[in-house]
Amino acid sequence: MADLKYSAAVSKYPVAVTALSDEDGGGYMAMAVDLKGCMADGDTQSEAVDNLQNAILEWIDEAVRLQRRVPAPGEAIARAHKEHKSLIEVLQKQDELLTRQTEAFEKQRAELSRLRQQVLSLSMEGQIDESDPDWSASDPCLVALVASRGNRNNDIPH
C-alpha cells in the first residue's frame, strides 16, 4: 500500500470523467490527468471516481516500487498552463513583428509613390534628360521609376 504521504494526496489529483459509448460498454471512465495511464471505470460517475481513487493508490505503489518519480497533484495542468502562456507570448511577439513589418512596408510604399510623382513631374517639365548617362548616377531608384513610367503593368506601387 502507498505510504501515508501519498494516501493523503490521492483526493487532490485532478480527475477527468468521460461517458463511455454503448459500444465501449457504457458507464463512465475516470482518469488521473497527472498519472499517465491511471484510469478506472464505473456504471456511474461517482463509482468511476471511487474506483479511480484505488487505481491512484495502486499506480503510486507501483511507481514507488519501481523507484520512479510520482508527479505532484496538478503538475500536468501547471505544465500545460506554462506551455500555453509561452505560446501566447510567441504569438504576441510574432504579431508585433508583423505590425512593424507592415508599417515599414507602408513607409516604403509611400516613399516610392512620392519618388514616382517627383520623377514624373520632373520628366514632364523637361528637367530630366534621360539620354544623359549622368542624370541617374545619384539615385538608382529614379532609373527604375523613369524606365517604368510608360509601362503601367509594373511591380512598383502606384
What is the rounded CA–CA span in Å between residue 117 and residue 115? 5
Tell me which H or E stretch contains 17: strand 15-19
Query: How high is the pLDDT of residue 123?
Result: 72
Q: Please, are residues 122 and 128 in contact by the beta-carbon 8 Å criterion?
A: yes
Instruction: Look at residue 119 in the predicted model and tell me its pLDDT.
Output: 83
Q: Which helix (H) or strand (E) holds 134?
A: none
What pairs with residue 39 in β-bridges?
Answer: 31
155, 145 Cβ separation under 8 angstroms: no
- For each successive 10 residues of the chain (158 residues), what is the average pLDDT? 65 94 93 96 96 95 94 91 94 96 94 88 68 58 56 51
Which is it for strands 28-32 and 39-42: parallel, antiparallel or unpaired?
antiparallel
pLDDT of amino acid 11: 84
pTM of the model: 0.54
pLDDT of res. 4? 59
Residue that the C-alpha cell 511507481 belongs to: 63
Residue 136: its pLDDT value, please? 54
11: Cα separation from own chain's centroid: 34
Which residue ranges form the domains of the chain, and what is each CATH number?
A: 1-98 (3.30.160.250), 105-158 (no CATH)
What's the pLDDT score for residue 90? Answer: 96
Are 142 and 136 in contact, with CB atoms under 8 Å apart? yes
